Amino acid sequence: MPRSKSDKEAAQGLAIGLVIACALDVKKSNGDGTLEAAGLSKLLAAIDHMAQVCGWPTNSLPTTI
């Protein structure tokens, strides 16, 4: 069943908000100069979810840096 435009926009807004919240959490936890792997993992998962919700072609993006 296709979702309405407003449902899609709401899902995208929530996904973007989740990425921002995770990024701020990583920034806050980085106060002593060390990054926590768990925070980065959550941020990457949120970015992956946002890409899926926004319809970005994750297949064409590199999976490793």
The answer to whether the CB of 42 falls within 8 A of the CB of 56 is: no
Q: Any residues with CB less than 8 A from the CB of 49 and at least 6 apart, and which?
A: 15, 18
pLDDT beneath 50, residues of the chain: 1, 65
* pLDDT for 19: 95
Which pLDDT belongs to residue 62?
A: 57
